[in-house]
Amino acid sequence: MVLEATMICIDNSEWMRNGDYSPNRFQALADAVNLICGAKTQSNPENTVGILTMAGKGVRVLVTPTSDLGKILACMHGLEIGGEMNLAAGIQVAQLALKHRQNKKQQQRIIVFAGSPVKYDKKVLEMIGRKLKKNSVALDVVNFGEDDEGKAEKLEALVAALNTNDSSHIIHIPPGPNALSDVLISTPIFTGDGEGGSGFAAAAAAAAAGGVSGYDFGVDPNLDPELALALRVSMEEERARQEAAAKKAAEEAGNQEKGENQSTSQDVAMAENVNAGTSEPESKATDLMDDENALLQQALAMSMDDSSSNVATRDTDMSEAASEDQDLALALQLSVQDSTNDQSNPTDMSKLLADQSFVSSILASLPGVDPNDPSVKDLLASMQGQSEKKDEDNDKEQKEDKK
Partner 1 sequence: MAAESAFAIPKGQVDLMDFVDWSGVECLNQSGSNTIVNALKQGYREDEGLNLVSDADEQLLIYIPFNQVIKLHSIVIKGPEEEGPKTVKLFSNKEHMGFSNVNDYPPSDTVVLSEDNLKGKPVTLKYVKFQNVRSVTIFIEDNQHDGETTNVQKIVLYGSTVETTDMKGLKKIEDH
- Binding residues for partner 1, rule: CB under 8 A, are 99-100, 104-105, 130-131, 133-136, 162, 164-165, 167
DSSP 191-221: H-SSTT--HHHHHHHHHHHT-TT-SGGG--T
| 228 burial via Cβ count (<10 Å: 0-12, 13-18, 19+) | middle
Q: Quick check: 333 and 245 in contact, CB under 8 A? A: yes
β-pairing verdict for 169-173 and 60-66: unpaired
Compare residues 134 and 403 and give the one whose CB is closer to partner 1.
Answer: 134
Complex with partner 1: residue 119 or 133, whichever CB lies closer: 133
**Whole-angstrom Cα distance, residue 163 to residue 102?**
25
Which SS3 state, helix, strand or coil, does residue 100 take?
coil
Distance in Å, CB of 130 to partner 1, minimum: 5
Q: Which residues contact 55 (CB under 8 A, 6 or more apart)?
A: 11, 12, 13, 14, 81, 82, 83, 84, 85, 86, 116
Return the exposure string of 50-89: e unless at least 16 CB atoms fall within 10 Å of the residue's CB, then b.
bbbbbbbeebbbbbbbbbeeebbbebbeebebebebbbbb
Least distance between partner 1 and beta carbon 136 (Å): 6
What does 262-287 look like in DSSP terms, one character per residue? -TT-HHHHHHHHHHHHHTHHHHHHHH
Q: How far is the CB of 204 from partner 1 (least distance, A)?
A: 28
Tell the burial category of 300 from Cβ atoms under 10 Å away from its Cβ (0-12, 13-18, 19+): buried
* In the complex, least distance from residue 161 CB atom to partner 1, rounded to whole angstroms: 9
Beta strand segments in 131-210, E: 137-144, 169-173
Q: Are 172 and 154 in contact (CB under 8 A)?
A: no
**To the nearest whole angstrom, how small is the minimum distance from the Cβ of residue 120 to partner 1?**
19
Q: Which is nearer to partner 1, 167 or 198 (CB)?
A: 167
Q: Which is nearer to partner 1, 133 or 377 (CB)?
A: 133
Residue number with CB closer to partner 1 (45 or 385): 45
Burial of 172 (0-12, 13-18, 19+ CB in 10 A): middle
- 3 state SS of 304: helix
Q: Which is nearer to partner 1, 47 or 181 (CB)?
A: 47
Give the nearer residue to partner 1 in terms of CB position, either 167 or 333. 167
To partner 1, the closest distance from the beta carbon of 84 in angstroms equals 25
User: For residues 136 and 262, which CB has a smaller minimum distance to partner 1 in the complex?
Assistant: 136
Q: In angstroms, give the least distance from the CB of 138 to partner 1.
A: 11
Check: CB of residue 278 under 8 Å from CB of residue 270: no
Nearer to partner 1, 136 or 261 (CB): 136
CA distance 100 to 95: 9
User: Which residues lie across from 66 on neighbouring strands?
Assistant: 49
Instruction: For residues 272 and 264, give the distance between their C-alpha atoms in angstroms, rounded to a whole number.
Output: 14
- Shorter beta-carbon distance to partner 1: residue 99 or 239: 99
Q: How far is the CB of 41 from partner 1 (least distance, A)?
A: 21
Supply the minimum distance, in Å, between the C-beta of residue 111 and partner 1. 20
We find the least distance from the C-beta atom of residue 189 to partner 1, in angstroms, to be 19
